[in-house]
Amino acid sequence: GAVVSQHPSWVICKSGTSVKIECRSLDFQATTMFWYRQFPKQSLMLMATSNEGSKATYEQGVEKDKFLINHASLTLSTLTVTSAHPEDSSFYICSATKQLGRAGPSYNEQFFGPGTRLTVL
């Protein structure tokens, strides 16, 4: 299997507070995890690439000081939204990559978490 969990599934916080979202690969090790953001009626937009043991790589326009990513182990990546504001309200989704293809050329597939809905009041 390849199960990815996120915690919490939803969170409501006051403006100015920080919120941490966890992404876990439950039954496999993931050297790379990705964080996406999705606003209502829009598609998923990649925010950053999280590699175990190294600094995350952020997409253009994503503030690395505002969206702190830590990938401390092969099964856990965290996204912390610092000093959250109402415009940060969104659906945050992570994915974890699993290496497949033992019988042939190896390749990576992404498995997605269920998402975390953040509402900032």
117 is a contact residue toward other proteins (CB under 8 A): yes
Query: Per-residue contact track with other proteins, 25 to 64, x per CB under 8 A?
Result: -------x-x--------xxxx--x---------------
CB contact set of 7 (below 8 Å; sequence gap of 6+): 21, 22, 24, 116
Question: Do the bridges between strand 90-100 and strand 116-120 make them parallel or antiparallel, or are there none, so unpaired?
Answer: antiparallel
* Residues in the chain, total: 121
What SS3 state is found at 89?
Answer: coil
State in angstroms the smallest separation of the CB of 50 from other proteins.
11
79 is a contact residue toward other proteins (CB under 8 A): no
Query: Which residues in this chain contact other proteins in the complex, by CB under 8 A?
Result: 4, 6, 32, 34, 43-46, 49, 91, 93, 95, 105-115, 117
